Protein backbone atom coordinates (compact mmCIF):
# COMPACT_ATOMS: atom_id res chain seq x y z
CA UNK A 1 0.00 0.00 0.00
CA UNK A 2 1.24 3.49 -0.90
CA UNK A 3 1.70 5.71 2.14
CA UNK A 4 3.15 8.90 0.72
CA UNK A 5 0.61 11.31 -0.69
CA UNK A 6 2.87 12.19 -3.63
CA UNK A 7 2.80 8.54 -4.76
CA UNK A 8 -0.99 8.18 -4.68
CA UNK A 9 -2.66 7.96 -8.07
CA UNK A 10 -4.64 11.03 -9.14
CA UNK A 11 -8.19 10.85 -10.43
CA UNK A 12 -9.74 12.64 -13.39
CA UNK A 13 -11.37 15.15 -11.06
CA UNK A 14 -7.92 16.03 -9.68
CA UNK A 15 -6.53 16.57 -13.17
CA UNK A 16 -9.54 18.76 -14.01
CA UNK A 17 -8.95 20.80 -10.85
CA UNK A 18 -5.35 21.46 -11.90
CA UNK A 19 -6.47 22.29 -15.46
CA UNK A 20 -8.94 24.84 -14.04
CA UNK A 21 -6.23 26.39 -11.84
CA UNK A 22 -3.91 26.64 -14.85
CA UNK A 23 -6.63 28.29 -16.92
CA UNK A 24 -7.15 30.85 -14.14
CA UNK A 25 -3.40 31.52 -14.07
CA UNK A 26 -3.44 32.04 -17.85
CA UNK A 27 -6.37 34.46 -17.55
CA UNK A 28 -4.50 36.37 -14.82
CA UNK A 29 -1.41 36.66 -17.01
CA UNK A 30 0.74 34.45 -14.75
CA UNK A 31 1.40 31.94 -17.56
CA UNK A 32 2.12 32.45 -21.22
CA UNK A 33 0.09 30.47 -23.71
CA UNK A 34 3.08 28.23 -24.40
CA UNK A 35 3.58 27.50 -20.68
CA UNK A 36 -0.13 26.86 -20.29
CA UNK A 37 -0.16 24.40 -23.21
CA UNK A 38 2.87 22.52 -21.84
CA UNK A 39 1.46 22.32 -18.33
CA UNK A 40 -1.99 21.33 -19.55
CA UNK A 41 -0.50 18.49 -21.59
CA UNK A 42 1.47 17.38 -18.51
CA UNK A 43 -1.67 17.66 -16.37
CA UNK A 44 -3.60 15.15 -18.43
CA UNK A 45 -0.56 12.85 -18.60
CA UNK A 46 -0.01 12.98 -14.80
CA UNK A 47 -0.49 9.77 -12.85
CA UNK A 48 0.18 10.82 -9.25
CA UNK A 49 -0.45 13.72 -6.92
CA UNK A 50 3.26 14.43 -6.97
CA UNK A 51 3.09 14.97 -10.75
CA UNK A 52 0.16 17.37 -10.35
CA UNK A 53 1.69 19.25 -7.40
CA UNK A 54 4.73 20.17 -9.47
CA UNK A 55 2.54 21.84 -12.09
CA UNK A 56 1.12 24.29 -9.53
CA UNK A 57 4.17 24.73 -7.30
CA UNK A 58 5.26 28.14 -8.64
CA UNK A 59 1.76 29.66 -8.77
CA UNK A 60 0.52 31.71 -5.80
CA UNK A 61 -2.12 30.13 -3.61
CA UNK A 62 -1.86 26.80 -5.36
CA UNK A 63 -0.27 24.63 -2.71
CA UNK A 64 -0.68 21.03 -1.65
CA UNK A 65 -3.56 21.87 0.70
CA UNK A 66 -5.99 22.41 -2.17
CA UNK A 67 -5.17 19.17 -3.99
CA UNK A 68 -6.18 16.31 -1.71
CA UNK A 69 -6.92 12.68 -2.57
CA UNK A 70 -10.56 11.94 -3.23
CA UNK A 71 -12.19 8.90 -1.63
CA UNK A 72 -12.87 6.10 -4.11
CA UNK A 73 -16.21 6.25 -5.84
CA UNK A 74 -18.76 3.52 -5.20
CA UNK A 75 -20.11 3.78 -8.74
CA UNK A 76 -18.86 1.23 -11.25
CA UNK A 77 -18.69 3.74 -14.08
CA UNK A 78 -18.13 7.44 -13.38
CA UNK A 79 -20.98 9.72 -14.36
CA UNK A 80 -20.21 13.29 -15.40
CA UNK A 81 -21.36 15.79 -12.82
CA UNK A 82 -24.38 17.81 -13.83
CA UNK A 83 -23.63 21.44 -14.54
CA UNK A 84 -24.96 23.66 -11.76
CA UNK A 85 -28.07 25.54 -12.76
CA UNK A 86 -27.79 29.31 -12.49
CA UNK A 87 -29.95 30.88 -9.85
CA UNK A 88 -32.99 32.53 -11.33
CA UNK A 89 -34.60 35.60 -9.89
CA UNK A 90 -38.16 35.14 -8.87
CA UNK A 91 -40.75 37.61 -10.00
CA UNK A 92 -40.92 39.68 -13.13
CA UNK A 93 -38.02 39.89 -15.54
CA UNK A 94 -36.13 43.16 -15.36
CA UNK A 95 -37.17 44.25 -18.87
CA UNK A 96 -40.85 44.22 -17.86
CA UNK A 97 -40.20 46.52 -14.91
CA UNK A 98 -38.12 48.85 -17.09
CA UNK A 99 -40.78 49.08 -19.80
CA UNK A 100 -43.74 49.60 -17.51
CA UNK A 101 -42.05 51.98 -15.05
CA UNK A 102 -41.92 54.74 -17.70
CA UNK A 103 -45.59 54.25 -18.52
CA UNK A 104 -46.53 54.33 -14.83
CA UNK A 105 -44.56 57.54 -14.24
CA UNK A 106 -46.25 59.32 -17.14
CA UNK A 107 -49.68 57.98 -16.07
CA UNK A 108 -49.21 59.42 -12.58
CA UNK A 109 -48.12 62.80 -13.96
CA UNK A 110 -50.96 63.20 -16.47
CA UNK A 111 -53.55 62.06 -13.91
CA UNK A 112 -52.17 64.55 -11.38
CA UNK A 113 -52.46 67.34 -13.98
CA UNK A 114 -56.02 66.30 -14.86
CA UNK A 115 -56.99 66.05 -11.17
CA UNK A 116 -55.51 69.48 -10.41
CA UNK A 117 -57.50 71.01 -13.29
CA UNK A 118 -60.74 69.34 -12.11
CA UNK A 119 -60.17 70.48 -8.52
CA UNK A 120 -59.58 74.04 -9.70
CA UNK A 121 -63.12 74.07 -11.08
CA UNK A 122 -62.46 73.49 -14.78
CA UNK A 123 -64.97 71.36 -16.64
CA UNK A 124 -62.45 68.97 -18.23
CA UNK A 125 -63.19 65.50 -19.55
CA UNK A 126 -60.82 62.64 -18.72
CA UNK A 127 -58.13 63.23 -21.36
CA UNK A 128 -55.25 61.14 -19.82
CA UNK A 129 -56.79 58.06 -21.40
CA UNK A 130 -55.51 59.34 -24.78
CA UNK A 131 -51.95 59.31 -23.42
CA UNK A 132 -52.09 56.14 -21.34
CA UNK A 133 -54.33 54.00 -23.59
CA UNK A 134 -52.34 53.62 -26.83
CA UNK A 135 -49.01 53.45 -25.03
CA UNK A 136 -50.37 50.89 -22.56
CA UNK A 137 -51.81 48.78 -25.39
CA UNK A 138 -48.45 48.64 -27.16
CA UNK A 139 -46.66 47.80 -23.90
CA UNK A 140 -49.21 45.10 -23.07
CA UNK A 141 -48.78 43.47 -26.48
CA UNK A 142 -44.98 43.64 -26.16
CA UNK A 143 -45.07 42.18 -22.67
CA UNK A 144 -47.32 39.28 -23.65
CA UNK A 145 -45.20 38.63 -26.74
CA UNK A 146 -42.00 38.73 -24.69
CA UNK A 147 -43.35 36.37 -22.06
CA UNK A 148 -44.62 33.90 -24.65
CA UNK A 149 -41.64 33.92 -27.02
CA UNK A 150 -38.91 34.98 -24.62
CA UNK A 151 -37.14 38.26 -24.30
CA UNK A 152 -34.05 37.22 -26.24
CA UNK A 153 -32.05 36.11 -23.19
CA UNK A 154 -31.59 37.42 -19.74
CA UNK A 155 -29.49 40.44 -18.82
CA UNK A 156 -27.07 38.08 -17.09
CA UNK A 157 -26.62 36.02 -20.29
CA UNK A 158 -25.94 39.13 -22.37
CA UNK A 159 -23.45 40.46 -19.82
CA UNK A 160 -21.66 37.10 -19.70
CA UNK A 161 -21.44 36.98 -23.50
CA UNK A 162 -19.97 40.51 -23.59
CA UNK A 163 -17.47 39.58 -20.87
CA UNK A 164 -16.31 36.51 -22.83
CA UNK A 165 -16.00 38.60 -25.99
CA UNK A 166 -13.87 41.23 -24.19
CA UNK A 167 -11.64 38.51 -22.70
CA UNK A 168 -11.13 36.95 -26.15
CA UNK A 169 -10.19 40.34 -27.65
CA UNK A 170 -7.74 40.98 -24.79
CA UNK A 171 -6.10 37.61 -25.29
CA UNK A 172 -5.92 38.21 -29.03
CA UNK A 173 -4.10 41.50 -28.45
CA UNK A 174 -1.65 39.81 -26.06
CA UNK A 175 -0.89 37.18 -28.69
CA UNK A 176 -2.41 34.20 -26.88
Cα–Cα distance measured from residue 168 to residue 171, given in angstroms and rounded to the nearest whole number: 5
Contact 12, 50 (CB under 8 A): no
Q: What is the pLDDT along the chain (176 residues), one digit of tens a residue?
A: 557 888 888 888 989 999 999 988 888 888 888 888 999 899 999 899 888 888 888 888 744 445 555 555 444 445 555 555 555 545 567 778 888 999 999 999 999 999 999 999 988 899 999 999 999 999 999 888 888 876 555 566 677 778 888 888 888 887 75
Q: How many CB atoms lie within 10 A of CB 43?
A: 22
9: helix, coil or strand? strand
d(CA 6, CA 105): 66
pLDDT for 134 equals: 94
Are 89 and 97 a contacting pair, CB within 8 Å?
no
How many CB atoms within 10 Å of residue 85? 6
> Quick check: 25 and 59 in contact, CB under 8 A?
yes
Amino acid sequence: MVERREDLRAADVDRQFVADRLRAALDEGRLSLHEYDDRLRDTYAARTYGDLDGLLADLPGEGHAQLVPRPPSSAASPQPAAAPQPLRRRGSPRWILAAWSGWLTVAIIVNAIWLASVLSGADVKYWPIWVMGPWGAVLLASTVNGLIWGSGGSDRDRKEAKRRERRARRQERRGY
